[in-house]
Structure 1
């Protein structure tokens, strides 16, 4: 180029441009946002069909007087009448709700404590004995609830039950006149043993999996600092696997609040003794034994709301702990 020559203008198409942030970028963000939901869509549809739709039907049924007829049924809208009757029923506050809450609290506490102790024991065993003992305790979890309940009923059966004979031999009771299942406290004590025996293996194996992830150097440092076994457990083990404790507590709470089989199959639990009803059994009795499907549905909705509140509190605590880590 000679002096004084004016450079030719650069064509518009040849000018360098920055990164385009037009439709392409928006399309990528849209794909990134929607792709996980598209992948989850089949599972969500199945869950909606199996869980959400029946839940909606139960809620709708709780606002009706439903009469079963040949070939179908007819529902009459009654508003909140079933909920008003439910909350105004003295049996709810006097026996059913205390039975449900106190029984669940006792079962959850004992299940988590016993499962944690079993996990600590398994941790101290060698690989072979750990496998043998883990398999043995998992047999209790694999046993159907119906089978386990009948075993406990047989153990505490009047006259010829093993525990009745043992207590009679020790002079604690008279086996000929004592029936463990007619008294409210004894009934739920047996039910608690049944539920804890069935549920602690899951907690034990889950907590054991968490214990195996804790570095041994943490315990060695604690021993060097002079911490005893309880201090090492409380200051090292619990904070490290606290999310696992929260998860097993949430699951145990959900399972134990809606226990039905273990109560219903015990003598007196199927309808002859209303003092031992919990919300699950009471809902079943009102719906099917008394043919009051709306009242039974309202009781089931109350139990669901109670579980949702408890689960929400646990999950909020879990996420709060995760944010602090």
Structure 2
């Protein structure tokens, strides 16, 4: 009986359209190209940000005063500046005041910016362009210029705000100072900061709103969902990543605010009761000449900002991976 021999041909590599082709190794030059392109930017960041940051950390561990500015050696005192700063009740008052002021600004800015963005979707082209120009003017105005303009509006003797309030309420507001009382001082500062921050939020969210499918909104409206429900159940989930990123950026910007508060203090505010972190660092360093303590406060502020920034970067990476 003849034995059966296998007639199956030797296996050959598949060349069909569905076959997976072997991965080609990228040449070493092409793999290094992205890193080489980043070298100039990294070098600039090291020079502009890295070196001053290292110097700041070094100063925060030294007894650095006016004498050291003129060349005297700075004694190393370790954590002495941090101990003094963290043991100072005024620092904790300023920190709490800064966080509270930041929280109010962020909530008001995000709310008004979202409402303006939603309004822009309902306007025709002419009025939408008009609103956009107004927002750009507020956004482009330098912070110091904005403080001067709003300072005139809230002027004690000739301010428009006092004049209008006197006419509307019947109470004489002539001579009323808005900057002496800490609460009204921060109210004026918040108006200036929010006025300049709303355009960024409005433009960013409006750009996101244009990407929400009209079919989904129409389907929700046919199902009986009102404007609030459509925003909460349809629009916000679509734009959640945008809201997260914009909110984190607003927290960073409002927590390190300096120009508006410092300029208003120069107009007539009480410095001891209205300083935020940025102003407090300036007053500690240049006001009293204690650069070591000012450096320690600045390092603490940098750590807070880095923690917020790391959270921001993680959110961005997470959204890119989805």
Q: What TM-score results when the alignment is normalised by the length of structure 1?
A: 0.84
Displacement of 1:29 in angstroms is: 6.7
Aligned to 2:215: 217
Contact 1:155–1:162 (8 Å) recurs in 2:
yes
Contact 2:179–2:269 (8 Å) recurs in 1:
no
Aligned to 1:76: 75
Output aligned runs, 1:44-123, within 5 Å.
44-68=42-66, 72=71, 74-94=73-93, 96-123=94-121
The structure-2 alpha-carbon separation of the partners of 1:270 and 1:306, relative to structure 1 and needing over 3 Å to count, comes to farther
Q: Deviations over 1:126-182 (max 9, x none)?
A: 233322221121100000000101111111121222212333342456433x32111
Aligned to 2:4: none
Mean alpha-carbon deviation: is it higher for 229-238 or for 257-266?
A: 229-238
Aligned to 1:248: 246
Contact 2:154–2:178 (8 Å) recurs in 1:
yes
The structure-2 alpha-carbon separation of the partners of 1:90 and 1:171, relative to structure 1 and needing over 3 Å to count, comes to farther
Output aligned runs, 1:178-189, within 5 Å.
178-189=176-187
- CA–CA distance in structure 2, aligned partners of residues 168 and 154 of structure 1: 16
Aligned to 2:144: 146
Aligned to 2:5: none
Aligned-partner SS, 2:221: helix
Contact 1:68–1:74 (8 Å) recurs in 2:
no
The structure-2 alpha-carbon separation of the partners of 1:113 and 1:168, relative to structure 1 and needing over 3 Å to count, comes to same
Q: Deviations over 1:70-118 (max 9, x none)?
A: 7656422111111111111111123x11221011111111111111111
Output aligned runs, 1:15-54, within 5 Å.
25=25, 28=26, 30-31=28-29, 33-54=31-52
User: 1:296 and 2:258 equivalent?
Assistant: no
The structure-2 alpha-carbon separation of the partners of 1:219 and 1:73, relative to structure 1 and needing over 3 Å to count, comes to farther
- CA–CA distance in structure 2, aligned partners of residues 269 and 278 of structure 1: 16
- CA–CA distance in structure 2, aligned partners of residues 171 and 128 of structure 1: 38
- CA–CA distance in structure 2, aligned partners of residues 64 and 269 of structure 1: 34
- CA–CA distance in structure 1, aligned partners of residues 226 and 46 of structure 2: 51
Displacement of 1:319 in angstroms is: 4.4
Aligned-partner SS, 1:267: helix
Mean alpha-carbon deviation: is it higher for 139-148 or for 72-81?
A: 72-81
Number of matched residues? 299
Q: What TM-score results when the alignment is normalised by the length of structure 2?
A: 0.85
- CA–CA distance in structure 1, aligned partners of residues 104 and 171 of structure 2: 25
Contact 2:166–2:174 (8 Å) recurs in 1:
yes
